[in-house]
Chains A and B, each alone.
Chain A
């Protein structure tokens, strides 16, 4: 019949199209090792490639490939090494003098010298230029040129973490180019001095980088081996995994634990898990206006701490690479220690006993705020329940939860903090114990100790002050330190890849197997 023959013709067309697709498509390139290119997929694209004008992890990673800082922190030994600076010395409480490396060129040929440092630091320190994360730069007073390869950096107040920031988020821009094009121009056509340079950039889609053949020798980043990087922004996690499975990508990060476990079974993939600097903890509101007055009693707070089986949650839910914490800071941060601080064993019976002593033989009712890793919150809630503490959950967006905490409406919280990867206690503990907006404890003794630690340049004075503060916090069970968070990376088996707690992906040191 005529109708059937038309249908047959239609089918032929459809089949032909599919076949053409199969033959015509280049297919996913399985040859990343063959063409010496690492294809990295990340979900969030930076809104601006200039590291001072974005605050997403992908922006931080790109920043370290394309640009350099004055110093870097060795991730293994934790000591600071000169990068664009060769040496430095503290002149007085607020001034550091840097000797700069000679013979370094930016990707556009411009020379690196004192002018680059002076222009960059003075530009970003100026609030009118609206650098995105002000805390990274608002400590800078000013930079002055001493001579062509010598600069002095002055801080606004005594700021012992200055070197840490100059090793992390504060990169050096080429003075003449930056003055000419500004942050928008820098994002459109990025120019740095780093081991990789940008060859093409489509905002929100992809970034292509190639090895900087003229990268200076003898620096702590070494010499980049792999010649090309292709960074693609793929918002959906399942799609990223699909790309890894089909050979369309070589590296992804922040993979959920259950997917990482399955990816580990795929022959051409490897799973690498690393600890991150992100700490997880519970804040307990023991101020005068706390919605749960029971929290003002130290026995109740100790009961809460004893009720949570941290070891078991870390092992079964959080995953490999994480560890139980006993103080509210990340162990690699300068000044972070749990020496002398009370440790609380998992003991629900003791928790019940303490609650009874405090006048709550039938347990107590309270609420808990959380905004991420809900499976962990639920494990905490069920542990508390077993000890008689009935916590009602309010799960919301970070900003909403933070506003509730600052308005004094939260009793218990389940929170995390990454310290912006700054390896100094001044970026963590004081946030919750130095009478700032997020302090729901308000112990003046702790505050004074932390301020002493923040404002001294003598490392021993700082260590002692912080140690005492942590001991006070732990002995009084003001908060409940929980664990550190791991991050899972999935990579192609051909790649030699190492994970670091600062979540920095060091493409410049990677090689093929």
Chain B
């Protein structure tokens, strides 16, 4: 197990480094950073001064190493638009986005596990068809449309929930549903497929023959084995949810990292853009690593691979 972890860790670090190189290069390829930092209407003399001050005139590898060194130590530079250090700005918004991502994932699992199990246990019946239909609708519905639909029903018609903001737990209900619903169908189908496969196994027949109640057979014996691929998917989906929350954050006025990313692109806030890309990518790498390790722990066969 230990050797496996070490190998995966090494790979993860390599991937993170590669990602950092891409993040660094991408933003420089999209235009002259000195012009972006100097702002609109800047004269040539101002641009040259910025080029010298920030060291943009030095060779790229030198700039990269210096940037990486500073970033790893937590110095993310200063936000061009907000004129304040980028690190505290990014981390303060990160909290909201992380909460939203985790809640959305929990919601997705909360609805997909029962639906997936029901679909598998009653496969090919009308229950199965219904669950599959819900899956298709979930993936076809654009999340901004779904969000507005939720607002219309729960805030305007029923007046049960507040429209936007982030003050109380009620403010997070609709954003969680809007964001998490999109991830649910993939889980549901995976659980259904896994359960169908597992339910045909010999040891399940044995458990039934032993006279164990259906709940125990399904949840204690079958689900535990079917859930292995779901763990892997969950980690990947969390990364996806963190990166894809811009729309939900904008609609529900949740001042999170997604919205900050959108603002930094609009205002060409170079240092913030770069560090958000890096932060989200590294988070994704860490989550994938965590899911690999969790998988290996759950299913010893993977450790040999």
Contact = CB atoms under 8 A, between A and B. Distances in A.
Interface of A: 1-3, 6-7, 10, 18, 21-22, 24-25, 27-28, 47-48, 53, 184, 202, 204-206, 232-236, 238-239, 242-243, 245-248, 399
B123 interface: no
Contacts of A233: 253, 255
Contacts of B213: 2
Contacts of A236: 250-251, 253
9 contacts: A3-B218, A6-B215, A25-B162, A25-B170, A28-B163, A202-B255, A233-B253, A242-B148, A399-B40
Contacts of A206: 165
B253 A242 contact: no
Contacts of A22: 158, 160
A408 B241 CA distance: 45
Contacts of B83: 47-48, 53, 184
Contacts of A234: 164, 253
Given A1-B214, A246-B159, A184 B251 contact: no
A121 to B, nearest CB: 21
Contacts of B253: 205, 232-236, 239
Contacts of B5: none
B91 to A, nearest CB: 14
A55 to B, nearest CB: 11
Nearest to B118: A7
A204 B257 CA distance: 12
Contacts of A245: 156
B24 interface: no
Interface string B68-86: 0000000000000111100
Contact of A3 (B81, B118, B152, B252): B118
Contact of A2 (B151, B160, B161, B215): B215
Contacts of B40: 399
B155 interface: yes
A460 B215 CA distance: 93
A243 B162 CA distance: 8
B166 interface: yes
A132 to B, nearest CB: 9
B156 to A, nearest CB: 5
Contact of A243 (B118, B163, B173, B259): B163
A10 B121 CA distance: 16
Interface residues of B, number: 37
A242 B150 CA distance: 11
Contacts of B117: 3
Interface in B200-227: 213-215, 218-219
A7 B114 CA distance: 7
Interface string B245-263: 0000011110100010000
B130 to A, nearest CB: 12
Nearest to A235: B250
Contacts of B114: 6-7, 10
B62 to A, nearest CB: 29
Scoring B114, B152, B163 by chain A CB atoms within 10 A of each residue's CB, the highest score goes to B163
A29 B141 CA distance: 31
Contact of A21 (B161, B218, B219): B161
A475 B151 CA distance: 54
B170 A248 contact: no
Given A236-B250, A239-B253, 14 more contacts: A3-B118, A3-B215, A6-B215, A6-B219, A21-B170, A25-B160, A28-B155, A205-B255, A234-B164, A242-B148, A242-B152, A245-B156, A246-B159, A399-B40
Contacts, number: 92
A28 B164 contact: no
A206 B171 CA distance: 15
A355 B219 CA distance: 82
Nearest to B159: A27
A245 to B, nearest CB: 5
B126 to A, nearest CB: 14
Contacts of B250: 235-236
B180 to A, nearest CB: 14
A242 B255 contact: no
Nearest to A11: B114
Contacts of B251: 236, 238-239
A237 to B, nearest CB: 10
B80 to A, nearest CB: 10
Contacts of B161: 21, 25
A24 B170 contact: yes
Given A1-B214, A3-B121, A238-B251, A232 B165 contact: yes
Given A3-B214, A47-B83, A238-B251, A248 B163 contact: yes
Interface in B1-33: none
Contacts of B165: 205-206, 232
A7 B116 CA distance: 12
Contacts of B259: 235
A205 B166 CA distance: 9
Contact of A48 (B82, B155, B170, B218): B82
Nearest to A244: B163
Contacts of A28: 155, 159, 162-163
A124 to B, nearest CB: 15
A327 B161 CA distance: 51
Contact of A246 (B82, B155, B166): B155
A401 B219 CA distance: 62
Contacts of A246: 155-156, 159, 163
Contacts of B255: 202, 204-205, 233
Nearest to A397: B266
A47 B252 contact: no
Scoring B81, B118, B162 by chain A CB atoms within 10 A of each residue's CB, the highest score goes to B162
A363 B170 CA distance: 62
Nearest to A13: B110
A21 B168 CA distance: 11
Given A3-B215, A25-B170, A47-B81, A239 B160 contact: no
Q: Which 4 interchain pairs have the tightest Cβ spacing?
A: A2-B214, A234-B253, A2-B215, A22-B160
B162 to A, nearest CB: 6
A21 B173 contact: yes
A248 B165 CA distance: 11
B76 to A, nearest CB: 17
A117 B161 CA distance: 48
Contacts of A3: 117-118, 121, 214-215, 218
Scoring B40, B117, B170, B259 by chain A CB atoms within 10 A of each residue's CB, the highest score goes to B170
Contact of A239 (B82, B163, B214): B163
A12 to B, nearest CB: 12
A2 B216 CA distance: 9
